[in-house]
């Protein structure tokens, strides 16, 4: 399964990316985490020190991953650029600030797109992409996440944040991502109801609500991963999200929605 994590800056994409990857790895799955943020913080959330994180080679931009000639196989990409982390997750850095500063990051994004489009089954059970903030990665031309199976839109408990997610849903569907959900993060008492109500009003399916927990911010301040067991309520919410993603009903519904989308597109093309 290929999972994309999107949302505005500061909503908790990297924190949740780290926790979701760790939860899958703890279940014995092989997890590949891809950091596309030019300020790569996912390494810390996965338990690496800043020194190791910043010394890691970045996947070269404009690299095309696949099985064709002139392309690099997924196996080789993981072997050459994959970084083992303490929780058993393999990390790929797709972008770094020196690259982002050097101009357009499009070619780095096309590398990530080709990686997701390549056959990754031999390398990873779960590939998760922690996206930098912004919606342009969901644009029809060259959308980085075009090959994602699931999109999680991380939100904060504000109407604005839920509206951003609501605007993301049709873009993601247009791009062909079959399952698109909002995740309500940093929920304080009463926020779970707020998320449920506003998300329903705005047509955002909710994958779960993650409580606010001070130990997440504290770990960030120390520049470390959240210690195991430090935020059991958060862990329970993350486990709930994994359960939803793994549930056969959700998968069937996604397949039906995908079929309806393709039928509609065929009808449009016939009509034009």
- Binding track over 33-52 against Mg ion, x by CB under 5 A: ----x---------------
User: What is d(CA 241, CA 41) in angstroms, rounded to the nearest whole number?
Assistant: 22
Instruction: Candidates 14, 38, 99, 168: give the one binding Mg ion (CB under 5 A).
Output: 14
Q: How far is the CB of 175 from ligand ADP (least distance, A)?
A: 20
> Would you list the DSSP string of 148-201?
-SEEEEEE-SSHHHHHHHHHHHHHHHHHT-SEEEEEEEEEPTTHHHHHHHHHHH
Q: Work out what residue 149 binds among Mg ion, ligand ADP, none; the CB cut-off runs from 5 to 8 Å by kind.
A: none
CB half-sphere exposure, 184, CA atoms < 13 A: 26
Q: How far is the CB of 6 from Mg ion (least distance, A)?
A: 11
Output the CA torsion sign for 39, 42, 43, 44.
positive
Quick one: 16 or 118, whose CB is closer to ligand ADP? 16
Q: Work out what residue 210 binds among ligand ADP, Mg ion, none; the CB cut-off runs from 5 to 8 Å by kind.
A: ligand ADP
Indicate the length of the chain as a whole number: 272
Quick one: 134 or 170, whose CB is closer to Mg ion? 134
Alpha helices in the chain (DSSP H): 13-26, 42-45, 50-55, 74-81, 97-101, 106-117, 159-175, 191-202, 214-222, 232-246, 248-271
Residues 6+ apart with CB under 8 A from 189: none
Stretch that binds Mg ion, among 11-19, 84-92, 94-102, 171-179 (CB under 5 A): 11-19
Q: Work out what residue 212 binds among Mg ion, ligand ADP, none; the CB cut-off runs from 5 to 8 Å by kind.
A: ligand ADP
Quick one: 99 or 164, whose CB is closer to ligand ADP? 164
Q: Work out what residue 217 binds among Mg ion, ligand ADP, none; the CB cut-off runs from 5 to 8 Å by kind.
A: ligand ADP
Q: How far is the CB of 261 from ligand ADP (least distance, A)?
A: 28
Q: Work out what residue 96 binds among ligand ADP, Mg ion, none; the CB cut-off runs from 5 to 8 Å by kind.
A: none
Q: How far is the CB of 36 from Mg ion (least distance, A)?
A: 10
What tokens appear for 262 in the block?
């393709």
Q: How far is the CB of 59 from ligand ADP (least distance, A)?
A: 20
What tokens appear for 39 in the block?
């300020």
Q: How far is the CB of 242 from ligand ADP (least distance, A)?
A: 16
Q: Work out what residue 213 binds among Mg ion, ligand ADP, none; the CB cut-off runs from 5 to 8 Å by kind.
A: ligand ADP
User: What is d(CA 21, CA 84) in angstroms, rounded to the nearest whole number?
Assistant: 13
Binding site for ligand ADP (CB under 6 A): 7, 9-15, 41, 185-186, 210, 212-213, 216-217, 220, 234
Q: How far is the CB of 17 from Mg ion (least distance, A)?
A: 8
User: Of 42, 1, 49, nearest to 18 (Cα)?
Assistant: 42
Element (H, E) at 32: strand 31-35
Site residues for Mg ion per CB under 5 A:
13-14, 37
């Amino acid at each position: 399964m290929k999972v994309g994590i999107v949302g505005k800056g500061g909503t908790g994409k990297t924190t949740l990316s780290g926790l979701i990857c760790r939860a899958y790895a703890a279940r014995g799955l092989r997890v590949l985490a891809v950091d596309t943020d030019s300020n790569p913080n996912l390494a810390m959330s996965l338990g690496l020190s800043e020194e190791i994180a910043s010394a890691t080679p970045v996947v070269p931009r404009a690299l095309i991953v696949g099985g064709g000639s002139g392309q690099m196989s997924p196996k080789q990409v993981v072997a050459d650029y994959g970084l083992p982390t303490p929780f058993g997750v393999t990390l790929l850095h797709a972008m770094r600030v020196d690259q982002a500063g050097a101009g357009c990051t499009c070619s780095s994004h096309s590398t990530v797109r080709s990686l997701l489009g390549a056959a990754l089954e031999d390398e990873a059970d779960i590939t998760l992409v922690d996206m930098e903030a912004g919606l342009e990665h969901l644009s029809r031309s060259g959308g980085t996440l075009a090959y994602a199976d699931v999109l999680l839109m991380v939100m904060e408990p504000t109407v604005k944040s839920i509206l951003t997610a609501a605007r993301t849903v049709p873009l993601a569907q247009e791009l062909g991502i079959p399952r698109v959900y909002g995740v309500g993060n940093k929920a304080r008492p009463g926020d779970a109801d707020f998320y449920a109500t506003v998300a329903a009003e705005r047509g955002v399916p909710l994958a779960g609500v993650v409580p606010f927990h001070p130990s997440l911010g504290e770990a960030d301040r120390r520049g470390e991963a959240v210690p195991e067991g430090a935020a059991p309520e958060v862990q329970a919410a993350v486990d709930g999200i994994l359960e939803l993603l793994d549930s056969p009903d959700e998968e069937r519904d996604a397949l039906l929605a995908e079929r309806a989308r393709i039928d509609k597109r065929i009808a449009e093309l016939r009509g034009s």
